[in-house]
Amino acid sequence: MSCLSSCCASLACGCCTSVASGISKRSARLAYCGLFGVSLIFAWILREVAAPFLEKLPWINTSTHSKEWYQISAVLRVSLGNFLFFAALALIMIGVKDQNDRRDAWHHGGWIAKMIIWLLLVILMFFVPNIVIKIYGFLSKFGAGLFLLVQVVILLDFTHTWNDAWVEKDEQKWYIALLAVSIACYIAAYTLSGILFIWFNPSGHDCGLNVFFIVMTMILAFAFAVIALHPKVNGSLLPASVISVYCAYVCYTGLSSEPRDYVCNGLHNKSKAVSTSTLVLGMLTTVLSVLYSALRAGSSTTFLSPPSSPRAGASKPLLESEEVESGKDKKEAEARPVSYSYTFFHLIFAFASMYSGMLLSGWTSSSESSELIDVGWTSVWVRICTEWITAGLYIWSIVAHLILPDREFS
């Protein structure tokens, strides 16, 4: 048995070493996404199996707790370790503007050490007192809210970038494609809204709150199109349609998170299946948002680029031609500014760690069955508020230049 364990340990070490050595500077961002994905799977597994183990730890089992309390504790401890790992990297990378900075190598390399540090942090979190986890759970609600806000900004950036890319081609087939995708998205948005009426407004019950949420979603979708196509706005239908689908999806996740004993939740008979699907979709959305932000880092947006970056939109050249020709300031001539902010990059992962912890723990609500995930009125209002904030930010993004004509919006 010990021989088998040694073989497994050596094989795991060998795999980690080969993976770490194969991570290049170009693939470092994907590697961080992979590490984040592993942490999500690890937290999910511990949520299902760690409760009996935590009950045996005297510094955790200080009083009588339910099974769900131990599940939430396991998730938050993994989330805290993950958060500390990325938050520490964010602090270390503050002020990195040039690739010649030693910290640039820390950001892209040293993966074996990073994996060990990440694992140690996660393990150490199972030795901290419960009060620390309680405080972290409270703070995570705000951190998760910030991540949802960043997620919305990323979505807006994606839709406008997609629209601009097709418009710049200036060919009829691409305009037809824009129209086709926009119509398809609007059909999907209103079809989903109709289905929500069937699921969450059962006959014989007064479900005014659910009807309000669904009708508001449909009104917002219509308003997006009207505002975007207004002559003064001169916007496009594609971003409006994509945001409409997203708002309808967020409305669905909010309504499906209603308590299972709520008469207006027509999915209560399929509670386990809905809980699992909501979790999978939520995790997939989180991973895609983090992955997109990681890949988008270094684009033309100032959102992720430091002031010294050539992608930050600075009109002044990085090197004056006279200095280069005269041979002066040779170090400046050899300078290679970083293409994105490493600090902001790691902050995205830190806040995503908080959000994933809230998602897996049902926003630390223990009022529902331990078999259900992300269920309760807290989850409902978080989703609905996210939808409304998304709508507000999108409308602002297309009318801001009319309200503040003296300011430049890029």
pLDDT tens digits, 197-247: 988 888 777 889 999 999 999 999 999 999 998 888 877 888 999 999 999
- The three-state DSSP-derived secondary structure of 5-66 is HHHHHHHHHHHHHHHHHCCCCCCHHHHHHHHHHHHHHHHHHHHHHCHHHHHCCCCCCCCCCC
Contact between 166 and 174 under an 8 Å Cβ cutoff? The reply is yes
Q: At what angle do helices 377-403 and 237-256 cross, to 10 degrees?
A: 160
Would you say residue 184 has pLDDT above 60? Answer: yes
Q: At what angle do helices 67-92 and 342-360 cross, to 10 degrees?
A: 180
d(CA 209, CA 224): 23
Nearest 5°: phi and psi at 179?
-65, -40
- Quote the tokens at residue 176: 């037809």
Contact between 185 and 244 under an 8 Å Cβ cutoff? The reply is yes
Name the band, by pLDDT with cuts 50, 70 and 90, for residue 316.
very low
d(CA 391, CA 228): 12
Mean pLDDT along residues 269-283: 59
Model pLDDT for residues 132-141, shown as the tens digit of each residue = 998 998 898 8
Query: What is the CA 212 to chain-centroid distance, rounded?
Result: 27
d(CA 303, CA 153): 9
What is the pLDDT, as a whole number, of residue 64?
77
Contact between 155 and 390 under an 8 Å Cβ cutoff? The reply is yes
Between 266 and 92, where is the model more confident? 92
Residues 6+ apart with CB under 8 A from 303: 153, 157, 344
- Quote the tokens at residue 219: 């009104």
Would you say residue 408 has pLDDT above 50? Answer: yes
Name the band, by pLDDT with cuts 50, 70 and 90, for residue 15.
very low
Show the beta-strand stretches assigned E in 62-150.
Answer: none
SS3 345: helix
Model pLDDT for residues 319-366, shown as the tens digit of each residue = 444 444 445 454 444 667 877 788 888 988 899 899 888 888 877 665
d(CA 352, CA 305): 19
What is the pLDDT, as a whole number, of residue 86?
94
Name the band, by pLDDT with cuts 50, 70 and 90, for residue 279.
low
d(CA 60, CA 53): 10
Would you say residue 7 has pLDDT above 70? Answer: no
Name the band, by pLDDT with cuts 50, 70 and 90, for residue 272.
low
SS3 193: helix
Nearest CA to 306 out of 94, 78, 32 is that of 94
What pairs with residue 98 in β-bridges?
A: 337
d(CA 183, CA 187): 6
What is the pLDDT, as a whole number, of residue 153?
83
Name the band, by pLDDT with cuts 50, 70 and 90, for residue 300.
very low
Mean pLDDT along residues 49-55: 86
d(CA 241, CA 220): 11
- Quote the tokens at residue 70: 């131990």
Mean pLDDT across the chain: 78
- Quote the tokens at residue 340: 């994105």
Q: For residue 6, give Cα distances in angstroms to 12, 184, 298, 409.
A: 10, 56, 43, 60
Question: Pseudo-torsion of CA 317, 322, 328, 332, nearest 10°?
Answer: 10
Name the band, by pLDDT with cuts 50, 70 and 90, for residue 118.
very high
Residues 6+ apart with CB under 8 A from 203: none
Q: What percent of the chain has pLDDT over 90?
A: 24
Burial 42-57 (b: 16+ CB within 10 A, else e): bbbebbeebbeebeee
Mean pLDDT along residues 23-41: 80
d(CA 348, CA 358): 15
- Residue showing tokens 């592993």: 38
Nearest 5°: phi and psi at 316?
-80, 135
d(CA 103, CA 123): 26
- Residue showing tokens 């805290």: 80
What is the pLDDT, as a whole number, of residue 303?
46
Name the band, by pLDDT with cuts 50, 70 and 90, for residue 11.
very low
What is the pLDDT, as a whole number, of residue 313?
43
What is the pLDDT, as a whole number, of residue 115?
93
* Count of C-beta atoms within a 10 Å radius of residue 64: 6
What is the pLDDT, as a whole number, of residue 340?
79
Percent helix, percent strand, percent coil in the chain, to nearest 5: 70, 0, 30
- Quote the tokens at residue 97: 């503007």
Name the band, by pLDDT with cuts 50, 70 and 90, for residue 296.
low
Would you say residue 267 has pLDDT above 80? Answer: no
Model pLDDT for residues 367-395, shown as the tens digit of each residue = 544 445 556 787 788 889 989 999 999 99
Would you say residue 48 has pLDDT above 70? Answer: yes
